[in-house]
Amino acid sequence: MFQEKGVLGRYPINLSAISFNKAVMLFKRFLADKIVAGQKTQTRRPIQPKRGYKVREVGDRVGVQVGFRPPLVYVIIKRKSKQALGEISEEDAKKEGFASVEEFKKAWLRLYGKWDPKHVVCVGLKFNPPFPSLMF
CA angle 74, 5, 32 (to 5 degrees): 30
Name the fold adopted by 5-128: Sulfate adenylyltransferase (3.10.400)
Rounded mean pLDDT, 8-32 = 64
Residue 128 has pLDDT above 60, yes or no: no
- Main-chain phi, psi angles of 85, to 5 degrees: -55, -35
Rounded mean pLDDT, 19-41 = 83
Cα 111 from Cα 130, distance rounded (Å): 23
Contact 84, 44 (CB under 8 A): no
Note the pLDDT tens digit of each residue in 43-101.
898 887 666 666 778 888 888 899 888 888 888 888 888 899 999 999 999 999 999 99
Note the pLDDT tens digit of each residue in 100-118.
999 999 999 999 999 999 9
| C-alpha torsion 30→49→74→125, nearest 10 | 80
Strands 45-46 and 120-123, by their bridges, are antiparallel
Domain ranges in the chain are: 5-128
The secondary element (H helix, E strand) that includes residue 82 is strand 81-84
Q: What b/e sequence results for 38-68 when a residue is b if at least 16 CB atoms lie within 10 Å of its CB, and e otherwise? A: eebbbbbeeeeeeeeeeebeeebebbbbbee
